[in-house]
Structure 1
Amino acid sequence: MRKSLDSVARRLPERRTLAFAVGAAVLLAAVVVAGGAAYFAAGLGPDADAVAAVEADPNLSVDRTAVGTAVSDGPVTASTVGLVYYPGGRVAHESYVPTAAEIVAASDRAALVVVVDAPLNLAVLAPDRADRVRERYPEVDTWAVGGHSLGGAMACRHVAGNAEAYDALVLHAAYCDRDISQSGLDVLAVLGGADGVIDAERERASRSNLPADARIVELDGVNHAGFGAYGSQPGDDPASLSPDASREAVGNATATWLSERGAVTRDFRSRSLSDRVSEGLRTVAPVLAG
């Protein structure tokens, strides 16, 4: 009996030590998780002055909703072209409101850009948030989805599994790691000539995942941070264009393309190849005849 008591007495300190170690590990993990969450939740940006300028523009409407911040240039109707936009990693979603405003202002069509508000500023935690955006604006018939950097990659992943719901994909300083080459989608990739963050080799290699007619546009003087309004970004190269001029260039390139090529409707793309070719020839014939 005494042996048993002695054995228990010897094990008690060991158990206390183990319990202390487990408790310390749990506490450390909690601190790390909480710290990480706080780090991502803090986010980069937005530039308050740039956002305020958008809000003060009488030609634009800014609407903050449960799914994100919407920028439009008038009533949303069936003729409005919509763009769901995923923010870059650890960037506050409102940092892209000025970019959205540039796209809307430069568009030849009534436009709506909804910048998704992702949990902890990480689009990977809300890859299908675009579904909720489209549900909120059922009147819109033409939809594109896109994003900046990590947000662009997540937009690609989302559209890869939902191509029938969209007309176009817009990549800003981003690339696709999913094969959408046969999706029938229109694709625009806008790159910054002074981008020091994007993995240029992977971006170029990933172009094979895009449809053959994808349009690639490189903007001189625009760096990685130039696609939003959140200040400088570690590892980026200096931009020769100002932040305002960079966003204007991005907005013009995106809006022009959306107006010209993103206007192709799902109804047209769903027709047989022969019907699409035939209709295209009927459209071109009068021009050739003239």
Structure 2
Amino acid sequence: MKWLKKTFITVIFLGFIMSFLGILYLNFNTYSPMIQAAYEMNRENVYIEDNTIIFEPSKNVVANFIFYQGGLVKPESYAVLAQMLSDEGIRVFIPRMPFNLAILNQNAYKDIIQNSSYMEDFYIGGHSLGGATAAIALSKEATPFKGVIFLAGYGTDDSNLRNKDIKVLSITAENDEVFNWERYEAYKDLLPNDSMFYTIGGGNHAGFGFYGEQKGDGIAEITREIQHKITVERIVDFIKEK
């Protein structure tokens, strides 16, 4: 009995150590917002409700956009993008995900929609893994969304959107070396025929956010500001197109 007790305590202790080291690893490898993004988070139109960051437009709202962050990127890192979209009348929601991994809470959008009384159309999407997660969530049931927006992202073989009544916009960046271009091309067959694709010349993977350079990424030939400007223009045109 003493041996069993010692073994049990040892297993519990090792489990605790492994969990601690895992959390430590994730924290050290998580990208944090740059000063520009931190500044945008302090604007008066930004507030947090039910663990979701909301960017409220100052003019007439034309749509709602639920945005899933990239893997191991803090959600505040997309504050510049969200503010630029809100300036165009798009209300942006960025749910905070467990360990900054959207895949751990695929259905975060449900609480946002169910708890809101907004009448405007809802769109969903995200950056990199965030976009893939949105596609997985959408493929499982009837979608409440008018469209989905991928920023350097694509779905999986299990996230077939081809027969969904939904608009699709996919934006990539020319110098993105984090992105798997082969899988991206293959996934196009699982999207609606009228899906829209656009590649930003000179942009890279990290240029879709403000969190610094990303390991393994290509070198950007344009500024983040320019990449954001083009991204916002494409999203606005996509949403406003009837």
How high is the TM-score relative to the length of structure 2? 0.89
Contact map agreement 2:40 2:83 (CA 8 A) in 1: no
* Structure number with bigger Rg: 1
What percent of counterpart residues are identical?
A: 24
Structure 2 residue 56 is the aligned partner of structure 1 residue 72: yes
Counterpart CA distance in 1 for 2:145 and 2:16 is: 40
Aligned length: 239
Counterpart CA distance in 2 for 1:259 and 1:237 is: 32
Which of 178, 186, 197 is the matching residue for 2:167? 186
Structure 2 residue 33 is the aligned partner of structure 1 residue 46: yes
Q: What letter corresponds to residue 32 of structure 1 in structure 2? A: M
Structure 2 residue 205 is the aligned partner of structure 1 residue 224: yes
Q: Deviations over 1:60-89 (max 9, x none)?
A: 7212222321112237x7x53000000011
SS in 1 for 2:134: helix
SS in 2 for 1:230: coil
SS in 1 for 2:143: helix
Deviation at 1:25, TM superposition (A): 4.4
Contact map agreement 1:145 1:159 (CA 8 A) in 2: no
Deviation at 1:93, TM superposition (A): 0.7
Deviation at 1:194, TM superposition (A): 0.8
Counterpart CA distance in 1 for 2:205 and 2:104 is: 22
SS in 1 for 2:26: helix
Q: Which structure has the highest helix share of the two?
A: 1
Counterpart CA distance in 2 for 1:35 and 1:54 is: 30
SS in 1 for 2:79: helix
Q: What letter corresponds to residue 132 of structure 2 in structure 1? A: A
Unaligned runs of 5+ in 2: none
Structure 2 residue 149 is the aligned partner of structure 1 residue 165: no
The root-mean-square deviation of aligned C-alpha atoms, in Å, is 2.2
Counterpart CA distance in 2 for 1:40 and 1:164 is: 32
Contact map agreement 2:37 2:76 (CA 8 A) in 1: no
SS in 2 for 1:239: coil
Q: What letter corresponds to residue 237 of structure 2 in structure 1? A: T
Structure 2 residue 150 is the aligned partner of structure 1 residue 141: no
Which of 204, 217, 221 is the matching residue for 1:236? 217
How high is the TM-score relative to the length of structure 1? 0.75
Counterpart CA distance in 1 for 2:62 and 2:194 is: 24
Unaligned runs of 5+ in 1: 1-11, 262-290
Contact map agreement 1:87 1:121 (CA 8 A) in 2: yes
